[in-house]
Amino acid sequence: MIEDKFLKINNIKIISFLKKFDLPIYIYNYKKIIFNLYKIKKLKFYVFFSIKSNNNVFLLKIILNTVKKFDIVSINELKTLLLINKFKPYIIFSSCGKSLSELIIAVNFQIFCINIESLQELFKLYFICLKKKNISLMIRINPNIDAKTNKKITTGTKLDKFGILLKNLLQCILFCNLSKLPIIGYDFHLGSQITSLIPIKKLFKFIKKLIFYIPQKNIDIGGGLGIDYYESKSIIKFNNYYKYVLKLKNYYKLNIKIIIELGRFFFGNCCIILCKSNYLKYNNYNKISILNTSMNDNVRPSMYNSYHKIESNNFGKKIKNFFGSICESSDKLINKKQIRILNNSLIIMFSCGSYCKVMSNNYNSKLKIFDLIIYKNKLKIIFKKEKINYLIKNNV
């Protein structure tokens, strides 16, 4: 329950800064980030941060000073890192559909590794490397394992576009051997928001069967560990998941180094959207609330039917249905229970630190909103709200 007047995040009263910033705003919690980083640092694996989940420069600098390794899916992510940092971090280029120019840049920068996910990418790389350039690569295999997660973020089944099918693997390995392209490992990203141990068990069984053909030392098991969007439901805990990975590695006697590419675990649960109910209205059957945040700030509910817990001050009418203010019927939150609110109540939407700001957009000419962080008991702006000029400045 939230009391508007007294609501505090890390000892800062929200009311004290409401006048300074237009709602909605994202608010990150630095203490929670440090807590997650502490857990990640304790892992006995090579952890790469997936920039696609959050590319805020302030947050990237935290990763540059701690984890120092990144999984990128476009060359612009590499360029961002080079722009904000003097030294070249460890980078795995792990996207689907890499273009020739992207591969050339990745090779020129001699990044740590390119994860090749199709024969076509491999052939392009071969021609680039003919000019005596060396690069290490991992082969992304499609293991045809269902990650048992949301269908829209599943990547490891044969119906998905990702990875090289088993039937093409030998051809691929042979081609690399003949053309002296060094394979340093194999990659298997099964999908995102995984909340069960079964897919990881199936994956290790699959790797065991394959290990004769893929004797290389690195196995990249991708990212995908789910976070608790309910903030009460107990999904697999981070430590248990990775203890299980170690157990499987030992059980199958695999002499491999494990690489993981984690995205949402870093910041997902470290950020809220603070917004307001614009007003309450009645449609035929229900009282509904129209919020001042919309699918342009967080598209996950409309796109994946994803749940983000919301809370309010608990005064006023009981409301179950919450909508954004974009002109689309799908601009709706998935809400599990009724919440008491008044016309202008403050609303907190939880777990908005990953795949929210990065997927936000200007639909309906909405402007991208402020990102703030509670940093060492002070409030710091880490993304300035866009100005109206932004909407027209690239039009010619």
Q: Which is nearer to ligand LLP, 356 or 369 (CB)?
A: 356
Minimal distance, residue 141 CB to ligand LLP, in Å? 12
Minimal distance, residue 165 CB to ligand LLP, in Å? 17
Range 351-380, binding ligand LLP (CB under 6 A): 355
CA distance 341 to 322: 11
Closest CB to ligand LLP belongs to which residue?
263
CA distance 309 to 2: 13
Only one of the segments 175-183, 232-240, 261-269, 331-339 lies at the binding site for ligand LLP (rule: CB under 6 A); that segment is: 261-269
Range 130-149, binding ligand LLP (CB under 6 A): none
Minimal distance, residue 264 CB to ligand LLP, in Å? 4
CA distance 125 to 220: 20
CA distance 207 to 228: 28
Q: Which is nearer to ligand LLP, 33 or 319 (CB)?
A: 33
Q: Which is nearer to ligand LLP, 155 or 313 (CB)?
A: 155
Q: Which is nearer to ligand LLP, 238 or 339 (CB)?
A: 238
CA distance 193 to 285: 34
Helices 198-210 & 238-251 angle (0-180, nearest 10): 30
Under 8 Å between Cβ of 153 and 359: no
Q: Which is nearer to ligand LLP, 293 or 313 (CB)?
A: 293
Only one of the segments 11-19, 186-194, 237-245, 363-371 lies at the binding site for ligand LLP (rule: CB under 6 A); that segment is: 186-194
Minimal distance, residue 340 CB to ligand LLP, in Å? 29
Residue 300's nearest CA partner among 266, 345, 350, 265 is 350
Helices 75-84 & 100-108 angle (0-180, nearest 10): 30
Q: Provide CB contacts within 8 A for 285, sequence distance 6+.
A: none
Minimal distance, residue 328 CB to ligand LLP, in Å? 18
Q: Which is nearer to ligand LLP, 179 or 335 (CB)?
A: 335
297 lies in the site for ligand LLP, by CB under 6 A: no
CA distance 211 to 256: 10
Q: Which is nearer to ligand LLP, 225 or 319 (CB)?
A: 225
Q: 12: how many CB neighbours lie within 10 A of its CB?
A: 16
Binding mask 147-166 for ligand LLP (x = CB under 6 A): ------x-------------
Q: At which residue do the structure tokens 């299980």 appear?
A: 244
Range 222-241, binding ligand LLP (CB under 6 A): 222-225
Minimal distance, residue 352 CB to ligand LLP, in Å? 10
CA distance 51 to 140: 19
Range 48-67, binding ligand LLP (CB under 6 A): 50, 52-53
Under 8 Å between Cβ of 45 and 260: yes
192 lies in the site for ligand LLP, by CB under 6 A: yes
Only one of the segments 1-9, 30-38, 259-267, 281-289 lies at the binding site for ligand LLP (rule: CB under 6 A); that segment is: 259-267
Instruction: Please confirm whether the linkage preceding 215 is cis (ω < 30° from 0).
Output: no
Only one of the segments 199-207, 216-224, 278-286, 384-392 lies at the binding site for ligand LLP (rule: CB under 6 A); that segment is: 216-224
Residue 289's nearest CA partner among 300, 299, 278 is 278
Q: Which two tokens stand for residue 307?
A: 């749940």
185 lies in the site for ligand LLP, by CB under 6 A: no
Minimal distance, residue 308 CB to ligand LLP, in Å? 10
Sole binder of ligand LLP in the list 249, 264, 276, 308 (CB under 6 A): 264
CA distance 355 to 346: 23
CA distance 199 to 189: 11
CA distance 52 to 92: 13
What residues line the site for ligand LLP (CB under 6 A)? 50, 52-53, 71, 94, 153, 189, 192-193, 222-225, 261-265, 300, 304, 355
